A and B are shown apart, each in its own frame.
Chain A
Amino acid sequence: MVFVMKSNYIIFLIILFECTLFAQNSFDEQFNLTKKLYSDENYFDTVTELKRLLFFNPNSEYIYSAYETIGKSYKQGAKFSDAIRYFTLAEINALSVDEIYNSRIDIIRVNILRRTTDRAFKLLDSLEADIRFNDKIDEINYWRGWAFIFADDWENAAVTFAGIDSTIELTVLAKKVDDDLYSVSFAKTISYIIPGAGQIYTGEYISGLLSLGWNILWGYLTIKSFIDERIFDGIVIANFLWLRFYRGNLQNAEKFAKEKNLIISNKAMNYLQFEFKGLKP
């Protein structure tokens, strides 16, 4: 009697095992299909098929990889909020410290890419403070450097990259960009002292000379009016013409410095996007 019971139990186990085996195989195939779709850059279908896999097999062994790949696919389609949602799900379902780390880095990279760099810095700080990731400090700093680049803080980017041995190219680039950038406050300050000097500093010579000329003309007429005791004329010229051109000169100096800085930053970003071979956000 005991023997019959045992054999029934074994048969039951076999059937159960077989059922699981059937499912496993087809889900394997589905997972392999999604890998192929991803490698073919068919990101829309990758997401669809991975969602299908997760829907029918929510507790599968692929759950981390599936969420991570969905996140990556959304990121490729510039659906950054969706990407972060799925990277977070990947982190929740991570089975090892490495998987947790990779998910967080993925989230940080998306935050860098969409320029929510404050969030990226906070996440990087929390990673750095976590003792489980003490051996990853260089990599954490690498992404911190990128966050500084996207925050348009090339000086700190250069300092951060300089602390990592393998990032000479990025260090040199960030330092060069930082050196090339115009100081907006300096441009404004020298324009306060000599109208047009800020524009000349940013390379806008004609605009600078014109600004200087207008300010000399209206300044001369204002002073001459006061000397000739035409006080009302003097006040009106000073208020409506001289001050107007003086203020315009300051605004122009600031505007030109910002525009030139944008061109320099964009040129560097263009290089990073198309020519830089290393890891990018």
Chain B
Amino acid sequence: MASEGRAETLALREQFDTEEQQKDASTLGMWIFLITEIMFFGGLFLVYIVYRSANAGVFAVASSSLKVYVGAANTVVLLCSSLTMVLAVRGAQLGERKTIVLFLILTLILGGVFLGVKAYEWNEKFQEHHVPGAAFHFEGLPPELQGRAQLFFSLYFAMTGLHAMHMVIGVGILSVLIWQARKGTYSAAYMTPVDVSGLYWHFVDIIWIFLFPLLYLIDRHLGK
């Protein structure tokens, strides 16, 4: 019986008995992968929190040089991209090919906008000599505190850099999905890749939701 079922649908891989089992396995796999990602970013958040509490004053001054409105705008962009991603998944559930393609493209564009804004922000940091290295200099801080200010920017670049890398991977996944969706690979019966990619995209979004307050918002009034 199981083998007949396998012959009927190309999408069912041979190790599974039913499509439901296959979909459950893929979804669970993605959730576990996201747990590993939480541990991955968690290590970095821990480092940041430890240093933030050890160098509260310097970090407040250093972080106030970040432009909060740019970060906030990027947060809005990313939240909107999560909405379009959900709509793409909804389109897949309904089996509407055009809807899937449209909203995946919108998600892709919003992801691109986020990365563009991020590149603009990083470029500014280069011009302000806020990039860790030999040329690092933070105006208004005595020489003995320059190292600690640099520590803030080290963490800023490490955290936003890793997040951006996840965004780039997400954009790559979206491109593949768009290409496949245009070919009509996805239908109401088979949409697991769209679904689990959506989970990934929301996760990357949520990481930013934590990064934004941690890096931009804490103790701003002290830094001015």
Bound pair (A, B): no
Residues on B facing A (Cβ under 8 Å):
none
